[in-house]
Structure 1
């Protein structure tokens, strides 16, 4: 596949993720099943090779159906999650976790390899299809620490 097609695939994937977030938010607002009482809180820390990750984005993608939950990794490696529509937490269930932390913004004309080179975490953690991080969220408060390795 030519590099410009791979770049378009990455850009289209980002657009698809943004569209999915908007659809999930609209669905949540349009249905009565989005009560805050249905949601569990999730917080924790993210480390890479034993050291706190000092930034990035974290997404919990449901393994079946339901809204995504997302958050920012703070400079001390800690995070908290919110679901589409700004609701704190997420519904109990099984999730695959993705983490991305880029050293800069991709620019037009970059190849897929150049975009991937911006990642500070191993590429395998950045997509639901390749992430080995699978977590179960239980009812109530959850503390989930994620230990990434570069090997």
Structure 2
């Protein structure tokens, strides 16, 4: 009996504390979006892979903080280069955010980011209202 219990414990040991791993081609992405040094609230941020693949999305809170979601069950974005768009235009009838993201950042080609493998990616965007 004692040997059976020990055998069961040894068999179960590798399972204790294990979490299911996400896909190996996805990495966590968080960051802060500011406009002229002020947090951009209620902004939608999209990371679209430069090559092929599914985009990831996030939304900033009152402090400008975001985290990306790949699917409802998977956090992060595909590893590699991305075209990034950021916008916070309110739908008709809703209040305007305190800090507006200039429209130029809502167009593809203005911003980009690289999502690195095997790490938590902190990717901040310090946007400006001044034309470049």
Note whether the superposition's TM-score is higher than 0.5.
yes
1:132 is aligned to 110
Q: 3-state DSSP class of the match of 2:104?
A: helix
2:22 aligned with 1:41: no
Of 112, 115, 120, the residue aligned with 2:100 is 120
Q: 3-state DSSP class of the match of 1:83?
A: coil
- Comparing both structures, which one devotes a greater share of its residues to helix? 1
In 1, the alpha carbon distance for the partners of 2:61 and 2:35 equals: 14
Residue 127 of structure 1 deviates from its aligned partner by 2.1
Residue 85 of structure 1 deviates from its aligned partner by 4.5
TM-score by length of 2: 0.71
Residue 150 of structure 1 deviates from its aligned partner by 0.6
Of 55, 73, 84, the residue aligned with 2:42 is 55
Higher radius of gyration, 1 or 2: 2
Q: 3-state DSSP class of the match of 2:24?
A: helix
1:141 is aligned to 120
User: Superposition RMSD on alpha carbons, in Å?
Assistant: 1.8
Q: How many residues align?
A: 103
- Cα gap change, 1:48 to 1:59, in 2 (>3 Å): same
Moved beyond 6 Å, runs of 4+:
none
2:56 aligned with 1:69: yes
* Cα distance per residue 1:76-135 (max 9 Å; x no partner): 110000113541111210011111102x3148xxxxxxxxxxx9221111121xx42111
Q: 3-state DSSP class of the match of 1:66?
A: coil
